[in-house]
Amino acid sequence: MLAASMLFVCVLAGCVERGDYPNRPITLICPWAAGGGTDTVSRQVAALLERELGVPVNVVNATGGAGVTGHTRGALARPDGYTLMMMTVEIHMLHHRGLTNISHADFEPVALLNADATALFVPVDSPWQSLGQLEEAIRAAPGKLTASGTVDGGIWHLGLAEWLLTAGLDPSDVVWIGMNGAAPSLQELMAGGLDFVCCSLPEARSLLDGGQIRCLGVMGRDRLEPFPDVPTFQEEGYDCRMAGWRAIALPQGAPPEIARRVAHALRRVVESGEFRQFMENTGFHVDWISGEELVQALDEGDARFGRLLHSDAFQSIRRTRFGPYFFPSLLLGLFLAIGGCLLATGKLGRDPDAPAVSGQGLVRLVEIVAWVVVYLAVVEWAGFVVTATVLTLVLLLRLGTKWPAALAVSVVVVPLAYEIFAVVLRVPLPRGWLGW
Partner 1 sequence: MNEHLLDAFQHVFCDPQVLLIILATSAYGVFMGAVPGLTATMAVALLIPVTFFLDPIPALAAVVTLEACAIFAGDLPNTLLRIPGTPSSAAYADDAYALTRSGRSAEALGTCLTFSVAGGLFGALVLMLFAPQLANWAREFSAPEYFWLYLFGLSCAVVVSRGSTLQAALALVIGLMLSTVGFSNSHTLARFTLGQPQLYQGVNFIPAMIGLFGVSEIFRNVLVIDARAEPPAANRVATPARGMTLFERFVARPVASVFQAALPLLWRRKLHALRSSIIGAVVGMLPGAGADIGAWVSLAASKRASKQPEQYGRGSVEGIADATAANNAALAGAWVPALVFGIPGDSVTAIVIGVLLMKNITPGPEIFREQGDLVYSIYLMFFLANLVLIPVGFAAIKIGGYVVRVPRRVLLPVILLFCVIGSYAINANAFDVGIMLAMGLLGFVLERRQIPLGPVVLGIILGGPLEERFLQTLAKSEGSLAAFFSRPMAAALGVVCLLVWIVPAVLTIVRRGK
Interface positions, 323-362, toward partner 1 (CB under 8 A) = 323-328, 331-332, 334-335, 338-339, 341-342, 345, 347-351, 354-355, 357-358, 360-362
Nearest approach, Cβ of residue 249 and partner 1 (Å): 18
| 368/370 Cα distance (integer angstroms) | 5
Q: Pick between residue 165 and residue 397 the one whose CB is nearest to partner 1.
A: 397
Please, what is the minimum distance in Å from the beta carbon of residue 258 to partner 1? 21
Which residues ranging from 200 to 219 are in contact with partner 1 (CB under 8 A)? 202, 205-207, 209-212
**CA dist., res. 406 & res. 393, Å (int):** 6
Q: Binding partner 1 by CB under 8 A: which of 132, 178, 306, 435? A: 178
β-pairing verdict for 26-30 and 83-88: parallel
Q: Applying CB under 8 A, does 372 fall inside the site for partner 1?
A: yes
When computed from its CA atoms, the radius of gyration of the chain, rounded to whole angstroms, is 27
Cβ-based neighbours of 303, under 8 Å, separated by 6 or more: none
Q: Give the relative orientation of helices 273-282 and 256-271 as an angle to the nearest 10 degrees.
A: 70
Task: Please identify, among the stretches 147-155, 234-242, 255-263, 291-299, the one whose residues bind partner 1 according to the rule CB under 8 A.
Answer: 147-155
Q: What is the three-class DSSP state of 262? A: helix
Site residues (CB under 8 A) for partner 1, limited to 84-143: 97, 99-100
Positions 291 through 320 that interact with partner 1 (CB under 8 A): 320
Cβ nearer to partner 1, comparing 221 with 364: 364
Which of 26, 28, 53, 60 touches partner 1 (CB under 8 A)? 60
CB of 252 to partner 1, least distance (A): 17
Of the candidate residues 10, 190, 297, 434, the single one contacting partner 1 (CB under 8 A)? 190
Binding test (CB under 8 A) with partner 1, winner from 26, 28, 53, 68: 68
Our CB check for partner 1 shows the closer of 293 and 380 to be: 380
Q: How many residues bind partner 1 (CB under 8 A)?
A: 118
- Partners of 26 in beta bridges: 57
- Pick from 1, 2, 3, 191 the residue near partner 1 by CB under 8 A: 191
Asked if residue 56 has a cis previous peptide bond (ω within 30° of 0), the answer is: no
> How remote is the C-alpha of 205 from its chain's centroid?
22
CB-nearer residue toward partner 1: 33 or 141: 33
The correct pick among 26, 122, 186, 242 for binding partner 1 (CB under 8 A) is 186
Q: Tell me the C-alpha distance between 134 and 397, whole Å.
A: 72
Angle between helices 384-398 and 359-382 (to 10 degrees): 170
Stretch that binds partner 1, among 12-20, 69-77, 165-173, 235-243 (CB under 8 A): 69-77
> Rounded distance, CA 194 to CA 186, Å?
9
| Rounded (10°) CA dihedral 128, 133, 136, 137 | 0
Query: Crossing angle of helices 256-271/37-53, nearest 10°?
Result: 110
Options 421, 432, 434, 435; binder of partner 1; rule CB under 8 A? 421
Omega into 255 within 30° of 0, i.e. cis? no
Rounded to whole angstroms, the maximal C-alpha distance in the chain is 87
Eight-class DSSP state of 67 = G
Q: Which listed residue (15, 151, 286, 313) binds partner 1 by CB under 8 A?
A: 151
> Does position 5 bind partner 1 by CB under 8 A?
no
Q: Considering beta carbons, is residue 140 or 322 the nearer one to partner 1?
A: 322
Distance CA 309, CA 172 (A): 13
Q: Which of 6, 11, 34, 423 binds partner 1 (CB under 8 A)?
A: 34
Q: 222: alpha, beta or left, given left = phi > 0 and alpha = psi -120 to 50? A: beta
Residues in 249-268 that interact with partner 1 by CB under 8 A:
none
CA distances from 151 to 147, 204, 302 (A): 11, 17, 19
Among the listed residues 23, 40, 126, 272, the single contact to partner 1 using CB under 8 A = 40
Tell me whether residue 9 or residue 366 sits nearer to partner 1 (CB atom): 366
User: In the set 5, 322, 346, 404, which binds partner 1 (CB under 8 A)?
Assistant: 322
Q: Minimum distance from CB of 432 to partner 1 (Å)? A: 13
Is 233 near partner 1 (CB under 8 A)?
A: no
What residues have CB less than 8 Å from 233, skipping those under 6 apart?
131, 163, 217, 218, 219, 239, 240, 241
Which one, 91 or 379, has the nearer CB to partner 1?
Answer: 379
414 makes contact with partner 1 (CB under 8 A): yes
Per-residue contact track with partner 1, 378 to 397, x per CB under 8 A? Answer: -xx-------x--xx--xx-
d(CA 258, CA 38): 24
CA angle at 370 for the pair 364 and 374, rounded to the nearest 5°? 140
CB of 321 to partner 1, least distance (A): 6
